[in-house]
């Protein structure tokens, strides 16, 4: 022992000495004149911190380098200061002026790190400095710095809550930020500082919903949680329709009519939230999937909640810590909606490698899913679990069998007989739990199971677990009249071992004696323990009459043998749904600090106009600007030509006609004619000629899109731009790409579809030589953008591409490459993006439609959403789904649209005839039959949704 103590003491002394020597070496390196030594020292120091070692003694030496001009060294110094600034506040305060200067540094990471260190110095005296720094950082050009300011808001608020109003102003400003890097951080600050200020979210609600898919995973969790609470205050319940039916059953016919006239219509903003969170169910992050699952559970219509099931089951392949939380939430959900998880019942079968707490939760879920159809399968599974070496799990299985027997009457007798067989088990824990469960089951049907009570009495001597012995004694006493010969014998045996029994067994022994006295006049003796003694004295006064207690005696039978309600075997997760799924409170089944209650649905939805934001659409791309300029030039030249003399117009017209139509012989003849003869010929052709546009106009018109610019077209030919993800920043190692169809004529080739691609560098380093690589198939005709030599961090660039889809919706597959990597991407167009708008009158439309009948006509009767029955709404939905032109109509119930395919220029005609009760006949006439059926599907879907 002495040798061990000596060895341990020597080891501790050696470690301390080594630590001192190591720190001295690092101090020397940090105080040297060479940046390379300082950088190496800081790397070692940060490595020590990462391993959990204490490096606080180096603070003075490290802080001296805070003003270093070496960027890499400066970054590491700031990492160290963030860790120890709160512990070494006095020394950190000496460097505040340096941090303030660093807030103006050209490098965004230095500015962000300086603010992070400044907010980590928790000294009230610098609160004004911190507030000023946060306000300036919130207006910084770098989203990274703005994100850091959002984190600093929480730190400042925890230190000085009196700054709340000023911080709310900064939060309000940051909530308007369009960067995905800032969104999650500012919402977290909102949740910490002013979660009740729902009014700050109104104008930013739709933006947050649309940004959600691109926010980092940590931010997605925070935003989804906040939007869940927001939605519960702003939208009406999607479950209300089912709940109100019974209320009106006995009401007047008038009230019934009023109720039927007001069906539930989901708010578009409510639907926006559900639609934009649905793709996140595929996230690799468990917390994100759980957040979306709880959002759908609390907000979605009941028939839509099932879409989260597969994602939750997928999470069960993860680590046991993740499994535990996911299974807890599934256990709560499976109580109310068994159908969600019943198809995946095998996923909840217990594995031998599962931990006990995982086994217990899976057992809970299987019990919740049990019904008449699958109970036989589940009971076979339970039979295996009962034999488990894990005693706690085996006991939980027996309780689960008891619950199944209670909930499903068809298997009650089977379960009871199986539990009786377990009484012969060698394992005391299994026997004890079986006795307890049998006792509860017998209370539901006591008259039918006297034989089971007798069997349990025979096994009584072999049972040693106190709870099991007490349960058998309780059964003997409660049903002593049904076993009149056995109960007294059990009491006789208990009297011999009374003093050696546990208290719970003694109490039940006394109760048995009292009940036997009332049924067959047998008495028990006074016993020792004061709890037992007091109970015995009370019972004696109750059942043995004397002068003082005679009044109570006549009520003894009613007191001791009163009918008792049968126990209810139910899930431990029955009432956990009062807490929001996925929260710490739900996991602990108690309200945790900081938990925000999920409010009830409002009876009437608040005004949805508070979420409207006026958006001034920018010019979509340089091509559009060029087209507008050319269009104006055309109109100016047209106006100018109209004011010229008729002779000049005729001369230009004749020259144009002559130049375009002459043959080679005619050309020679024309050139050989004299000038007077040419003038004579012009005068002869002057009378029948009409004014025509100058040649310059015709040249410019080649560049103008086939927009419906005539008076017959009453609506713009373009709908809202839909943006699609081409490459996610995680897959692209920092490079992300989105694309949209600009719906402009492609300047590269007329048969190509114009595509705008937005490339963004989300990494912390520059990306070089971004270009298009191999394409699939190799014959795919793509006009690639020029190579982007360099793209800085957080920078974006918009480039144009042209793709010839050949009037097919088949995806264009190609490689998006950088200098180091290649990423496979694809662009798949909707059928409506393969069209260009065409101009025509109503008469021309009818004429062309008459030519495209029979096999060239596709039609269907559709049911439209009530909100889409107006002329404006119909045009909006059709143009959103297809790039066509609107043709004016003389009838209010007819709507016509015309377009041509980009590649083959085939005519596509769309007509919509409104019928009664929001139904309409939708007809598409075109030679492209495959395209017609696909377009019909898209238009049907667009018009059917509100």
Tokens 């005539």 locate to 710
Compute the Cα dihedral for 490, 495, 499, 505 and give only its sign: positive
Query: Looking at residues 801-824, what average pLDDT do you find?
Result: 88
131-183: per-residue pLDDT in tens? 999 999 999 988 999 999 999 999 899 988 999 999 999 999 999 988 889 99
Tell me which DSSP letter residue 911 carries: E
**Nearest CA-CA partner of 224 in 575, 579, 581:** 581
Burial (CB count within 10 angstroms: exposed 0-12, middle 13-18, buried 19+), residue 13: exposed
Query: Looking at residues 636-656, what average pLDDT do you find?
Result: 43
Does residue 346 have a pLDDT over 70? yes
pLDDT top residue among 133 and 646: 133
pLDDT bucket at 399, cuts 50 / 70 / 90: confident
pLDDT recorded at residue 427: 76
246-264: per-residue pLDDT in tens? 444 444 444 444 445 467 7
Under 8 Å between Cβ of 438 and 416: yes
pTM: 0.55
pLDDT recorded at residue 94: 73
Under 8 Å between Cβ of 946 and 868: yes
- Percentage of the chain modeled with pLDDT above 70: 76
Element (H, E) at 764: none
In angstroms, the CA 307 to CA 121 distance is 47
pLDDT bucket at 551, cuts 50 / 70 / 90: low
pLDDT recorded at residue 711: 31
Crossing angle of helices 108-120 and 127-138, rounded to 10° = 150
In angstroms, the CA 260 to CA 252 distance is 13
Q: What is the DSSP string of 792-829?
A: -TT-EEEEEEEE--TT----EEEEEE-SS-EEEEEE--
Does residue 629 have a pLDDT over 50? no
Under 8 Å between Cβ of 506 and 470: no
Pick from 360-364, 585-589, 913-917: least confident: 585-589
3-class secondary structure, 858: strand
Element (H, E) at 913: strand 907-914
In angstroms, the CA 155 to CA 123 distance is 11
Query: Looking at residues 331-346, what average pLDDT do you find?
Result: 87
414-464: per-residue pLDDT in tens? 888 888 788 777 777 787 788 888 877 777 765 666 777 777 777 777 777
Query: Looking at residues 933-941, what average pLDDT do you find?
Result: 86
Contacts of 6 (CB under 8 A, 6+ apart): none
23-38: per-residue pLDDT in tens? 777 877 877 777 788 8
- Interstrand relation of 788-791 and 735-745 (parallel, antiparallel or unpaired): unpaired
Does residue 65 have a pLDDT over 80? no
109-118: per-residue pLDDT in tens? 888 888 988 8
pLDDT recorded at residue 80: 83
Taking only Cα atoms into account, the Rg of the chain, rounded to an integer number of angstroms, comes to 41
Does residue 14 have a pLDDT over 80? no
To the nearest whole number, what is the mean pLDDT of the chain?
77
pLDDT bucket at 564, cuts 50 / 70 / 90: low
Q: Record the tokens describing residue 48, joined without a space.
A: 């020590």
**Nearest CA-CA partner of 660 in 692, 620, 684, 615:** 692
Burial 617-652 (b: 16+ CB within 10 A, else e): eeebbebbeebeebbeebeebeeebeeeeeeebbeb
What do you get for the CA distance between the two ends of the chain, in Å? 82
Does residue 745 have a pLDDT over 80? yes
Does residue 409 have a pLDDT over 60? yes
Of the CA atoms within 13 Å of residue 105, those in its CB half-sphere come to 24
3-class secondary structure, 755: strand
Contacts of 658 (CB under 8 A, 6+ apart): 670
- Interstrand relation of 812-817 and 822-827 (parallel, antiparallel or unpaired): antiparallel
Tokens 């006591």 locate to 446
484-496: per-residue pLDDT in tens? 778 888 888 888 8
pLDDT top residue among 649 and 307: 307
Pick from 53-62, 177-186, 353-362: least confident: 53-62
pLDDT recorded at residue 522: 45
pLDDT recorded at residue 555: 67
pLDDT top residue among 601 and 79: 79
Query: 775 phi and psi, to 5 degrees?
Result: -125, 155
Tell me which DSSP letter residue 224 carries: H
pLDDT recorded at residue 52: 81
pLDDT top residue among 866 and 650: 866
CA dihedral 537, 542, 548, 554 (to 10 degrees): 180
Query: Looking at residues 900-915, what average pLDDT do you find?
Result: 89
703-716: per-residue pLDDT in tens? 434 433 333 333 33
pLDDT bucket at 628, cuts 50 / 70 / 90: very low
pLDDT recorded at residue 738: 93
Does residue 656 have a pLDDT over 70? no
pLDDT recorded at residue 184: 92
pLDDT top residue among 228 and 520: 228
pLDDT recorded at residue 135: 92
CA distances from 653 to 281, 663, 685 (A): 65, 18, 10
pLDDT recorded at residue 575: 62
pLDDT recorded at residue 429: 77
- Percentage of the chain modeled with pLDDT above 90: 17
pLDDT bucket at 613, cuts 50 / 70 / 90: low
Contacts of 14 (CB under 8 A, 6+ apart): none
pLDDT bucket at 240, cuts 50 / 70 / 90: low
pLDDT bucket at 577, cuts 50 / 70 / 90: low
């Amino acid at each position: 022992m002495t040798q061990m103590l000596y060895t341990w003491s020597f080891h501790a002394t050696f470690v301390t000495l080594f630590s001192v020597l190591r720190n001295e070496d690092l101090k020397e390196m940090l105080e040297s004149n060479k940046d390379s030594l300082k950088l190496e020292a800081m790397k070692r120091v940060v490595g020590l911190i990462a391993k959990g070692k204490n490096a606080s003694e180096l603070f003075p030496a490290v802080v001296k380098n805070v003003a270093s001009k070496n960027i890499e060294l400066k970054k590491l110094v700031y990492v160290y200061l963030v860790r120890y600034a709160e512990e070494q506040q006095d020394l950190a305060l000496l460097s505040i002026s340096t941090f303030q200067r660093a807030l103006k540094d050209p490098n965004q990471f230095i500015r962000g790190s300086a603010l992070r260190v400044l907010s980590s110095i928790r000294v009230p005296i610098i609160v004004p400095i911190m507030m000023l720094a946060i306000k300036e950082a919130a207006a910084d050009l770098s989203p990274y710095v703005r994100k850091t300011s959002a984190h600093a808001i929480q730190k400042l608020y925890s230190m000085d809550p009196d700054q709340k109003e000023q911080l709310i102003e900064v939060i309000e400003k940051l909530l308007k930020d369009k960067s995905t890097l800032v969104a999650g951080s500012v919402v977290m600050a909102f949740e910490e500082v002013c979660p009740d200020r729902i009014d700050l979210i109104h104008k930013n609600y739709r933006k947050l919903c649309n940004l959600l898919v691109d926010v980092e995973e940590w931010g997605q969790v925070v935003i989804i949680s906040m939007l869940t609470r927001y939605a519960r205050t702003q939208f009406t319940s999607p479950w209300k329709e089912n709940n109100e039916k019974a209320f009106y059953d006995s009401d007047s016919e008038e009230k019934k009519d009023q109720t039927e006239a007001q069906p539930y219509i989901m708010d578009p903003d409510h639907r926006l939230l559900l639609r934009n969170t649905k793709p996140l169910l595929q996230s690799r992050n468990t917390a994100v999937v759980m957040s979306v699952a709880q959002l759908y559970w609390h907000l979605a219509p009941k028939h839509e909640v099932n879409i989260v099931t597969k994602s939750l089951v997928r999470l069960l392949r993860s680590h046991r810590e993740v499994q535990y939380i996911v299974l807890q939430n599934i256990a709560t959900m499976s109580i109310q909606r068994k159908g969600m998880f019943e198809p995946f019942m095998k996923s909840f079968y217990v594995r031998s490698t599962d931990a006990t707490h995982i086994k217990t939760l899976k057992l809970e879920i299987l019990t919740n899913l049990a019904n008449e159809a699958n109970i036989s399968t589940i009971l076979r599974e339970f039979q295996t679990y009962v034999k488990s070496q894990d005693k706690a799990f085996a006991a939980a299985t027996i309780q689960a069998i008891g619950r199944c027997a209670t909930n499903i009457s068809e298997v009650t007798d089977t379960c009871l007989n199986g539990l009786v067989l377990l009484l012969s088990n060698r394992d005391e824990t299994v026997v004890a739990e079986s006795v307890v469960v049998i006792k509860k089951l017998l209370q539901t049907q006591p008259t039918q199971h006297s034989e089971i009570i007798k069997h349990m009495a025979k096994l009584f001597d072999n049972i040693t677990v106190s709870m099991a012995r007490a349960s058998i004694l309780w059964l003997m006493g409660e049903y002593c009249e049904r076993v009149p010969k056995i109960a007294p014998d059990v009491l006789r045996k208990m009297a011999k071992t009374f003093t050696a029994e546990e208290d719970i067994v003694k109490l039940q022994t006394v109760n048995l004696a009292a009940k036997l006295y009332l049924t067959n006049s047998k008495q028990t003796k006074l016993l020792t323990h004061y709890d037992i003694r007091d109970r015995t004295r009370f019972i004696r006064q109750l059942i043995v009459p004397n002068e003082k207690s005679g009044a109570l005696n006549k009520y003894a039978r009613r007191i001791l043998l009163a009918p008792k309600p049968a126990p209810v075997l139910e899930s431990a997760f029955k009432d956990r749904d009062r807490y929001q799924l996925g929260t710490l409170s739900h996991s602990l089944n108690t309200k945790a600090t900081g938990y925000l209650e999920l409010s009830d649905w409002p009876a009437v939805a608040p005004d949805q106009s508070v979420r409207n934001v006026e958006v001034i659409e920018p010019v979509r791309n340089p091509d559009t600007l060029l087209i507008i300029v050319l269009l104006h030039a055309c109109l100016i030249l047209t106006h100018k030509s109209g004011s010229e003399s008729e002779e000049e117009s005729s001369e230009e017209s004749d020259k144009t006609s002559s130049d375009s139509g002459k043959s080679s012989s005619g050309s020679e003849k024309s050139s050989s004619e004299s000038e007077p003869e040419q003038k004579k010929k012009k005068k002869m052709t002057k009378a029948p000629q009409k004014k025509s546009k100058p040649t310059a106009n015709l040249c410019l018109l080649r560049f103008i899109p086939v927009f419906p610019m005539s008076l017959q077209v009453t609506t713009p030919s373009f709908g809202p731009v839909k943006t699609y993800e081409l490459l996610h920043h995680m897959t692209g190692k920092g490079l992300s790409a989105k694309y949209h169809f600009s719906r402009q004529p492609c300047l590269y080739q007329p048969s190509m579809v114009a595509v705008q691609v937005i490339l963004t560098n989300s990494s912390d380093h520059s990306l070089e030589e971004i270009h298009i690589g191999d394409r699939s198939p190799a014959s795919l005709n793509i006009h690639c953008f020029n190579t982007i030599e360099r793209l800085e961090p957080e920078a974006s660039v918009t480039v144009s591409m042209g793709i010839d889809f050949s009037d097919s919706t088949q995806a264009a597959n190609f490689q998006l490459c950088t200098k180091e990597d290649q990423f496979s991407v694809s662009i798949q167009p909707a059928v409506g993006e393969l069209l260009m708008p065409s101009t025509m009158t109503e008469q021309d439309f009818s004429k062309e439609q008459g030519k495209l009948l029979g096999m060239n006509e596709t039609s269907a009767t559709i049911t439209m959403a009530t909100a889409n029955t107006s002329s404006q709404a119909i045009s909006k939905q059709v143009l959103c789904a297809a790039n066509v032109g609107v043709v004016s109509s003389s009838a209010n119930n007819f709507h016509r649209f015309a377009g041509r395919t980009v590649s083959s220029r085939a005519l596509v005609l769309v007509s919509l005839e409104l019928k009664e009760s929001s139904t309409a006949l939708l007809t598409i006439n075109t030679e492209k039959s495959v395209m017609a059926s696909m377009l019909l599907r898209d238009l049907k879907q667009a018009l059917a949704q509100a």
